[in-house]
């Protein structure tokens, strides 16, 4: 939506977000990964649009390798994963949520890729799920093409939301996304400082 009038972008994006949050099949998903070139999902959380937790699990990767930068971001160590279930062990529960849902994620193409890659690493059949990018919806709300999640929460004046959730962990981040989208629907337009980095 770049290039459109700001007020029009905001109104259209707000309506799209409101429509999604009213749908009973919409869920919000986030993953954390091992962070290396062939990264695997090591944490996955899903909530519905009322905040009910539908899935929240640490997942033991097939290859016990962790990128140091990824560890510094999410704080999930290999020791924390050693006794956790593997993806094949939680797959039925995960599929039961994803199969009938429209998935919102802050960077939906990334989360979709990580889930499909993790399935492939475990030699599991690919299984598609419907997904939409919450970040693109929010960025369009400000007439932008991208927006970092924590920057978006701060732009929206929701610092308390960050304080009350564990940032860069899957469950914390899905709650940030839900709170942010709810604020967009409920509140006045907050104009972003377009000179600031996303």
152 Cβ contact list (under 8 Å, min separation 6): 135, 138, 180
Rounded CA-CA distance 134/12 in Å is 14
- Predicted pLDDT of residue 75: 95
Answer whether residue 198 is part of any domain. no
- For residue 194, what is the DSSP state? T
- Residue 44, token pair as written in the block: 């996955």
pLDDT given at position 78: 97
Structure tokens at 3: 């290039």
Which backbone phi and psi does 170 adopt, to 5 degrees?
-60, -45
Element spanning 8, H or E = helix 6-22
- Of 154, 133, 136, which Cα lies nearest the Cα of 197? 154
Residue 16's CATH number: 3.30.420.10
pLDDT at 10: 84
Residue 191 lies in a domain: no
Using CA atoms, how far apart are residues 133 and 72, in angstroms rounded to an integer? 25
Domain contains 21: yes
User: 87-96 pLDDT, tens per residue?
Assistant: 999 999 999 9
192 located within any domain: no
Positions of the chain with pLDDT under 50 = 1-3, 5, 194-197
CA distance 139 to 6: 11
> Is 76 a member of any domain?
yes
Q: Is 1 a member of any domain? A: no
Domain tally, the chain: 1
Q: How many CA atoms lie within 13 A of 117 on its CB side?
A: 19
Contact assessment for residue 134 and residue 106, using Cβ atoms and an 8 Å cutoff: yes
User: Would strands 41-48 and 26-33 be described as parallel, antiparallel, or unpaired?
Assistant: antiparallel
For 131, the domain range is 6-186
- Kindly report the number of other CB atoms within 10 A of residue 103's CB atom: 22
Do 10 and 189 meet the contact criterion of CB atoms below 8 Å apart? yes
């Amino acid at each position: 939506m770049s290039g459109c009038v700001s007020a029009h972008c905001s109104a259209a994006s707000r309506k799209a977000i409101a429509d999604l949050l009213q749908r009973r099949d919409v869920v919000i998903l986030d993953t954390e990964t091992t962070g290396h070139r062939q990264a695997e999902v090591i944490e996955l959380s899903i909530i519905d649009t009322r905040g009910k937790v539908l899935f929240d699990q640490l997942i033991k990767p097939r290859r016990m390798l962790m990128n140091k930068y990824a560890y510094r971001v999410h704080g999930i160590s290999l020791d924390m994963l050693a006794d956790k279930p593997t993806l094949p062990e939680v797959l039925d529960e995960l599929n039961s949520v994803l199969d009938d849902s429209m998935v919102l994620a802050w960077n939906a193409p990334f989360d979709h890729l990580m889930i499909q890659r993790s399935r492939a690493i475990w030699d599991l059949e690919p299984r598609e799920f419907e997904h939409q990018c919450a970040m693109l919806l929010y960025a369009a709300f400000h007439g932008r093409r991208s927006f970092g999640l924590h920057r978006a929460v701060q732009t929206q004046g929701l610092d308390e939301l960050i304080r009350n959730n564990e940032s860069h962990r899957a469950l914390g981040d899905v709650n940030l996304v839900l709170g942010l989208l709810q604020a967009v629907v409920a509140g006045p337009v907050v104009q972003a400082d377009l000179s600031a980095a996303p």
